[in-house]
Every structure is written in C-alpha cells, then in structure tokens.
Amino acid sequence: MFASHYVINHIYLIFKKGDLEGTKELFEKFTHRYSGDDELDALYKRFIKASEQKNKEELSEVKKDLKILLNTRKFKETSGGVSPTAGLKSRRPGIDSWIKLV
C-alpha cells in the first residue's frame, strides 16, 4: 500500500514551512506506516542525507520532487488509477457501488 496524496501533502506543508525536524518526524512516521511505498522511502532517504549534510540545494530538490509526487498521487487517485475506497474493499466488498464518489 502506498501513501495517499493527503499524507504527502501533510509532509510537504511542514517541509514548506521550513520545519526540518517536523518534516523528519512525519517522514519517519509515514515511511514506517507505508513501508511498501518505494517513492516516498527514496525521498525520505534523500531528505535525511541532505539535512545531515546541510545541503540546501538538495533539500530544495527533495521539496520539488515531493511536490511532484504529491501531484502524481493526486492525479492517480482522481483519474481512475486508485479508488479512494481501495483500502476499504477488503472489509466491505462492493463499497464503490453504494458510495457515490464526488
């Protein structure tokens, strides 16, 4: 399972504010929760390396790539790539038939 665009947006907003410690905590929390999300994990590793080296250029690139990932996930979730109710299907078969998605 991969992180939704809501999760990535949460990380991005904290990162955008310049709170590197808060960003690190969120990255750790969500990369642990979504361990199968290789794209998020790769960004986390780049973020850690750049923040340890205090490389502002790389941090800027990570922020840009995080925004790209956010937009990509948002597009996939709203254009038929992944249903927003995909996580519920195992618990509630047929959920898409009785929930009208806007």
Among residues of the chain, what percentage have pLDDT more than 90? 63
Local confidence band at 77 (pLDDT 50, 70, 90 cut-offs): low
pLDDT for the residue 94: 62
d(CA 75, CA 33): 22
pLDDT at 92 over 70: no
The residue behind tokens 């990932």 is 69
User: What's the confidence (pLDDT) of residue 69?
Assistant: 93
Q: Where are the domains of the chain?
A: 5-98
CA distance 54 to 11: 19
